[in-house]
Structure 1
Amino acid sequence: MDTIQVRASERLDEVKLQSFLKRQFPDLPEGIIEISQFSAGHSNLTYCLKVGDFEVVLRRPPHGPVAKKAHDMKREFTILSALHPFLAAVPEPFVYVEDREIIGSDFFLMERKKGIVLDTHFPKGIEHSEQLARQISEKMVDSLVALHAIPYQETKLKEMVKPDGFMERQVQGWIERYDKAKTAQYAEVEALTTWLKKHIPTNSEATIIHYDYKLNNAMFSSDFSEMIGLFDWEMTTVGDPLADLGVAMSYWMQADDPKMLLYALGEPPVTILPGFYSRQEFIQRYAEKSGRDVSAIDYYITFAYFKLAVICQQIYYRYVKGQTKDDRFAQMDKMVAALIQQASKAI
């Protein structure tokens, strides 16, 4: 996964961090700490800390005010600790640090994984082919099925979650979040939210769900034969597995999607290229591999588009209010509009 020079507004205290690393890792090699930043992601901030041949990843909340219960580093660290023994793609967590004196917030450290992360293009030296695209699609489906098969009752998550009434809470909660973060009026929202409240599915099955499952949160081996990393676990909980599938499909773009959706934030993901599964093919393989009834999936996809619109709206709200100065967020309102339109069409 590519790193960039740390953004000026998101720098860390190198002296304090080096001192902390020496205390935490007695075998730390000699040398000056090098800090770079992972460019992907619009939420929590992720850094690579390097001293000699030692590398570790640091995760911290974004700067400025954040939504209640969002960006909970301790929770994400606990999730990684619970799931790493069951799924090798989950990075190994090392330590959670509550002391805000080191970098100005709490944070945690985890394993640095190295492999290939796909987003809007294939890296140099890797040629796209329909066979490769199909292989990647299959790995994405099969890894989601494997995640949903983990017995959450055997993990610490059972003490952190309330699976009963999951979708009711989700629908109501995300509508409330949208209302609090509004910066513009969209004509479709009232009809959309009314429909979502009226048609909540009654599926009572509960599994571990990633809830931010998308291609650029996954890392593959050099030959794409396996998924070796899966990242950004801050949304993870126990709930309806079809909600997870719906979220995955809201990210999984295909070539015939509206141009406004495809290009709202720049180039579309590689999933629009020939050979990648359509959303229908992805859903069908998931149904076959998991044995689940997916007949109500249209509801979950509609809700997922709305949920993603709310997340983008919350980010845009923080930008408008001056709580973040990241210029990537200046056009986020276009993505909100595109996602609300897509959700309305999905009904």
Structure 2
Amino acid sequence: MTTTNTMIDEARELRDEDRLDAGRLDAYLKSVIPGLEGTPSIRQFHGGASNLTYLIAYGGRAMVLRRPPPGATGAGAHDMLREAAVMAALRPHYPYVPAILARCEDADVIGTPFYVMERLEGVILRSDMPPGLGLDADGVRRLCTTFLDRLVDLHAIDTSEPRIAAFGKGAGYVARQLAGWTGRWDRAATAGVDPYADVVEWLRARQPANDSRLCVIHNDYRFDNVVLDPADPLRIVGVLDWEMATIGDPLMDLGGALAYWVEADDDPAFKALRRQPTHEAGMLTRREAIAYYGARTGMDVSDFAFYEVFGLFRLMVILQQIYRRYALGQTTNEQFAGFDGFVRCLGERCRRLIAPGGGAR
């Protein structure tokens, strides 16, 4: 099967607040990447809500630049140089990682540290499945299982290789994550936000006692972070956005992925959060995805409640951090204006799941 060029993920004009110094960038890139000639064109991918991603093109040669947003705060957040280091370490073991072309620590070039990687041209799925993909329900199911298979492949990487082992901290991952994200939640508070103390206390009480399973985890594995082959959309050619990758519990990775997994019969408020086509006929349900992952890996997934609720809570924190930047005037991007409503939606979903008989599973 083939796709049309209209489904290739394309960059657009720069937002005014996200412009960078083209002259300084051009001089730097030509000093570190051989063979660049002429004046670069610079455009922006508008799909993300956290870090900024640009398309840099010198004639027929295209590359992608990643940088943090203005006003970015939080220990460990928006660390582009770490992301580049993780990608470089993983690429020999996981061929879906784009090649790193340059890493720049000097904030004087464009105002922040950044890195540049090869561009993987392909289809990136957003809210709805493009009709031009030509996938029936069986094809959608195969795409869904392929998506989960690539996560299984990632979790099977040998973590004893020194460069890979270096970006994790060993046992105790779940406890560190719970402490870290609850701390971020407290720091991201804005006027009138519900503290959801009951959700936090439930997570603290239910965190797994045995926290020893360790593997490479992506930590933001979603359909809009994978690139599909334009000639065969059932084949994944790239996985993007490695900022939060680390060594940790694989079920935390699966729980994080399922936080974005909106189904066709979910409640209207949660459906308003949908940013990927998991509602399409043929897609596995959340329960089916958990069972499929368990069957592929041999892991016991019978008690998934903590991982499901934590995934939703972590997404709450991410959206609240972004909303706080908007509320403080650190970004004027109007797509963030309603993120406080999304935070409430996720918080109430957590409450329904942890309530007696509420369905956490």
TM-score, structure 2 as length reference: 0.92
Q: 2:240 aligns with which of 231, 234, 250?
A: 231
- Does 2:309 match 1:302? yes
CA distances 1:206-263 after superposition (whole Å, capped 9, x unpaired): 0011000111011111322321111111111111100000001111111111211111
SS at match of 2:266: coil
Q: 2:270 aligns with which of 245, 255, 261?
A: 261
Q: Which residue is 1:181 aligned to?
A: 188
Q: 2:77 aligns with which of 40, 59, 70?
A: 70
Distance (Å, rounded) in 1 between the aligned partners of 2:98 and 2:345 = 33
Distance (Å, rounded) in 1 between the aligned partners of 2:10 and 2:266 = 28
The size of the alignment, in residue pairs, is 344
Q: 1:150 aligns with which of 147, 157, 164?
A: 157
Unpaired runs of at least 5, structure 1: none
Distance (Å, rounded) in 1 between the aligned partners of 2:280 and 2:201 = 35
Distance (Å, rounded) in 2 between the aligned partners of 1:99 and 1:286 = 42
Q: Which residue is 2:117 aligned to?
A: 110
Q: Which residue is 1:211 aligned to?
A: 219
Q: Which residue is 1:9 aligned to?
A: 17
Q: Which residue is 2:357 aligned to?
A: none
Q: Would you say the 8 A contact 2:228–2:236 is kept in 1?
A: yes
Shift of 1:34: 0.4
- Does 2:75 match 1:99? no
Q: Would you say the 8 A contact 1:135–1:224 is kept in 2?
A: no
- Does 2:352 match 1:345? yes
Distance (Å, rounded) in 2 between the aligned partners of 1:164 and 1:126 = 43
> After superposition, where does 1:150-169 map in structure 2 within 5 Å?
150-169=157-176
Q: 1:20 aligns with which of 16, 23, 28?
A: 28
Q: 2:144 aligns with which of 129, 137, 147?
A: 137
Distance (Å, rounded) in 2 between the aligned partners of 1:268 and 1:74 = 27
Q: Would you say the 8 A contact 1:83–1:155 is kept in 2?
A: no
Shift of 1:164: 1.4
Q: Would you say the 8 A contact 2:188–2:320 is kept in 1?
A: yes
Q: Would you say the 8 A contact 2:87–2:242 is kept in 1?
A: yes
Distance (Å, rounded) in 2 between the aligned partners of 1:132 and 1:124 = 13
Shift of 1:124: 5.5
Distance (Å, rounded) in 1 between the aligned partners of 2:197 and 2:30 = 55
Give the aligned residue type for 1:80.
M
CA distances 1:151-210 after superposition (whole Å, capped 9, x unpaired): 121141312321211111111211111111112556581111111001111241100110
SS at match of 1:125: helix
Q: Would you say the 8 A contact 2:107–2:113 is kept in 1?
A: yes
Using the TM superposition, name which of 251-260 and 124-133 deviates more. 124-133
Distance (Å, rounded) in 2 between the aligned partners of 1:299 and 1:26 = 49
SS at match of 1:271: coil
Distance (Å, rounded) in 2 between the aligned partners of 1:186 and 1:320 = 12
> After superposition, where does 1:182-201 map in structure 2 within 5 Å?
182-185=189-192, 189-201=196-208
Q: 1:247 aligns with which of 256, 263, 275?
A: 256
Unpaired runs of at least 5, structure 2: 1-8, 355-361
CA distances 1:289-327 after superposition (whole Å, capped 9, x unpaired): 111111221210101100100110010011001111111
Q: Which residue is 1:51 aligned to?
A: 58
Distance (Å, rounded) in 2 between the aligned partners of 1:2 and 1:231 = 15
Give the aligned residue type for 2:254.
L
Using the TM superposition, name which of 166-175 and 121-130 deviates more. 121-130
Distance (Å, rounded) in 2 between the aligned partners of 1:56 and 1:187 = 42
Q: Which residue is 2:5 aligned to?
A: none
Give the aligned residue type for 1:59.
R
Distance (Å, rounded) in 1 between the aligned partners of 2:66 and 2:13 = 16
Q: Would you say the 8 A contact 2:168–2:246 is kept in 1?
A: yes
Using the TM superposition, name which of 75-84 and 195-204 deviates more. 195-204
- Does 2:97 match 1:90? yes
RMSD between aligned alpha carbons? 1.5
